[in-house]
Amino acid sequence: MIGPPIRRGRLAGIRRVFAPIGEARGLPRWVLWAGIAITVLFVLLAFLAPLVSPYDFDQYRLADGSRFTKQAPPSSDHLFGTNVMSTDVLSRVIYGSRTALSVVVIAVVFSMSIGVPLGLVSGYFGGKLDRILLLFMDALFAFPYLLLAIVIAFLLSETIGRGVMTAAIAISVVYVPQYFRVVRNHVISVREEPFVEAARAMGARPRTIIGRYVFFNVVQNVPVIATLNAADAILTLAALGFLGYGIQPTEAAEWGYDIQRAIADAGAGIWWTGLWPGVAIVLLVTGLTLVGEGLNDVLNPVLRRRRTEPVVFPEGPETPQESGLPEEPLNR
């Protein structure tokens, strides 16, 4: 690192962090764009749900009062069939993306806005505060995340009901320790850098140092963790829904809940009620994971590769990598 990294305000710093995305080449680029394509598809579905969905997520009869058949196999009226609640599976899958994405966005924002500042402060000041926070976060991290989320969702549902907020808070508790740890560890190494030392010598207040000098050197990792956490959070939300501690079925369509209702169908050979919500989860989680992995390859300076690097591996047959560059192990 040469000289103070930030000179032209905050926006320049953020632009600097994301600049390598355009420069990505080879497999990382492919992975990143495939992930982005899948994710964008679901974002579009979420926003346009009322337009593209054939029915409402809780609609079980037509406007003329005739009810949908229960557990009807796929047909032209119901492309993905209907489920045990007589609702249209396709509509619930589409509306489900809305639920999943809104919960996950809130959860990631929550856990980031708690984990990142705590990590900054804990890492920068060190001492007793750091030790206590570290102990607390480690305890949270070691605990089986799902049990934690269930208990918190249960307690919250007693007070504020089972909605998007309850699920989001329960999920964010699970991910706070991850942001905390990554940011804290990074701050500890950055804190000793000459430019921080210089700022301190010039009499800058801790606030300024953290905000201007430490933050932008540490924040690179956050987008990667955020997308990978988002992928994981989709699974946690579905797990909560599956166990009956997610979102109330009358409030929104949720994939995990739908699969729970579908488990009983498996014995009767009814596959369409569980298959489609499951496929939706797998696709969205894969998409977000690919974005995260791609970002990691692209943003992480240790793993980053550019086209100019003249490394060619002679051995080995055709590879999925276009550029023939070796890909670094993901050391996470």
Partner 1 sequence: MARQTTSLRKYALTRLALALPIVLLLLTMVFLLMRVAPGDPISAALGGRLPAEELERRREAAGYDRPLVVQYVEYLGDVATGDFGTTVSDNRPVMNLIAQNGAATLELTLTAMVLAVLVGVGVGLVSGRFRDTPLDFGGRLFGIVIYAAPIFFLGFLGQLIFGKYLGWLPTSGRASPVVSFELDTPTNLFVLDAIIAGDWSALGDILRHLILPATTLGLVIGGVFTRLVRVNVLQTLQGDYVEAARARGLPERNVVFRHAFKNALVPVVTVMGLQFALLLSGAVLTEQTFNWPGLGSELIRYLDNRDYIAVQGIITFVALVVVAISVLIDFVNAWVDPRVRY
Among 171, 196, 209, 281, binds partner 1 (CB under 8 A): 281
Q: How far apart are CA 253 and CA 10, in angstroms?
A: 39
The DSSP secondary-structure symbol of 68 reads P
Phi-psi map region of 317: left, alpha, beta (phi>0 left; psi -120 to 50 alpha):
beta
Instruction: Check residue 47 for interaction with partner 1 (CB under 8 A).
Output: no
CA distances from 159 to 12, 118, 154, 238 (A): 44, 27, 9, 22
Least distance (Å) from partner 1 to the CB of residue 50?
27
Among 147, 201, 311, 312, binds partner 1 (CB under 8 A): 147
Phi-psi map region of 2: left, alpha, beta (phi>0 left; psi -120 to 50 alpha):
beta
Phi, psi angle pair for 61, to nearest 5°: -155, 160
Instruction: Check residue 320 for interaction with partner 1 (CB under 8 A).
Output: yes
| Nearer to partner 1 among residue 93 and residue 210 (C-beta) | 93
Length of the chain (residues): 332
Look up residue 94 and give its amino acid.
Answer: I
Instruction: Check residue 165 for interaction with partner 1 (CB under 8 A).
Output: no
| Nearer to partner 1 among residue 22 and residue 320 (C-beta) | 320
Q: Looking at 84-92, 112-120, 139-147, 303-311, which segment touches partner 1 (CB under 8 A)?
A: 139-147
Q: How far apart are CA 245 and CA 178, in angstroms?
A: 23
Q: Determine the size of the site formed for partner 1 (CB under 8 A).
A: 58
Point out which residues bind partner 1 (CB under 8 A): 135-136, 138-139, 141-147, 150-152, 154-155, 158-159, 231, 235, 238-239, 242-245, 256, 259-260, 262-263, 266-269, 271, 274-275, 277-278, 281-283, 285-286, 289-290, 313, 316-317, 319-321, 326-327, 329-331
